[in-house]
Amino acid sequence: MARTVGATIRFDPKASRPKNGIALIYDLEGFSRFFNQPDVQDYVPKFLNHVSGAISTVFYGGESYKEADEEKVTGPLPPPMHEKFLGDGALYIWTPPGTETDFDENFVATLCNRLWNLKTFFAKEVLPLAADDVPVFEVPQRIRFGLARGTIYELTKSGSAEKEYIGFCVNLASRLQHYCPQLGFIASARLGLSKTILDANDYEKVVATKIKGFPKEIVIVDKNEFKRLEPAVRDELFTKI
Under 8 Å between Cβ of 143 and 119? yes
Residue 64 pLDDT greater than 60, yes or no: no
Residue 38 pLDDT greater than 70, yes or no: no
Average pLDDT score over the chain: 86
Bridge partner list, 222: 203
Q: What is the pLDDT of residue 69?
A: 44
If pLDDT is split at 50, 70 and 90, which confidence band does 37 have? low
Q: Which domains does the chain have, with CATH numbers?
A: 19-240 (3.30.70.1230)
Under 8 Å between Cβ of 156 and 12? yes
pLDDT digits (tens, 9 = 90+) for 86-127: 878 899 999 998 888 899 999 999 999 999 999 999 878 887
AA letter at 209: T
Output the DSSP codes for 207-228.
EE---TT-TTEEEEEEHHHHHT
User: Residue 57: phi, psi to the nearest 5?
Assistant: -65, -40
Under 8 Å between Cβ of 159 and 216? no
Residue 5 pLDDT greater than 60, yes or no: no
Report how far residue 154's alpha carbon sits from residue 156's, in angstroms, rounded to the nearest whole number.
Answer: 7
Q: What is the pLDDT of residue 170?
A: 96
User: Residue 36: phi, psi to the nearest 5?
Assistant: -90, 50
Where is pLDDT greater, at 140 or 197?
Answer: 197
Q: What is the pLDDT of residue 4?
A: 52
| Beta-strand runs (E) in the chain | 19-29, 62-63, 73-74, 82-85, 89-94, 142-156, 163-167, 185-188, 203-208, 217-222, 238-240
Q: What is the pLDDT of residue 43?
A: 66
AA letter at 21: G
Report how far residue 201's alpha carbon sits from residue 162's, in angstroms, rounded to the nearest whole number.
Answer: 38
Closest to 29 (Cα-Cα) out of 173, 181, 208, 166: 181
Share of the chain above pLDDT 90, in %: 55
AA letter at 83: E
Q: Are strands 203-208 and 238-240 parallel, antiparallel or unpaired?
A: antiparallel
Q: What is the pLDDT of residue 68?
A: 44
CA angle 93, 96, 158 (to 5 degrees): 50
Q: What is the pLDDT of residue 72?
A: 57
Q: What is the pLDDT of residue 240?
A: 93
Residue 82 pLDDT greater than 50, yes or no: yes
Mean pLDDT (whole number) for 58-72: 64
Range in 13-27, 139-153, 200-214 the model is least confident about: 13-27
Report how far residue 115's alpha carbon sits from residue 122's, in angstroms, rounded to the nearest whole number.
Answer: 10
Closest to 130 (Cα-Cα) out of 53, 56, 74, 58: 53
Q: What is the pLDDT of residue 36?
A: 65
Closest to 25 (Cα-Cα) out of 139, 167, 222, 161: 167
Residue 10 pLDDT greater than 50, yes or no: yes
Mean pLDDT (whole number) for 11-37: 78
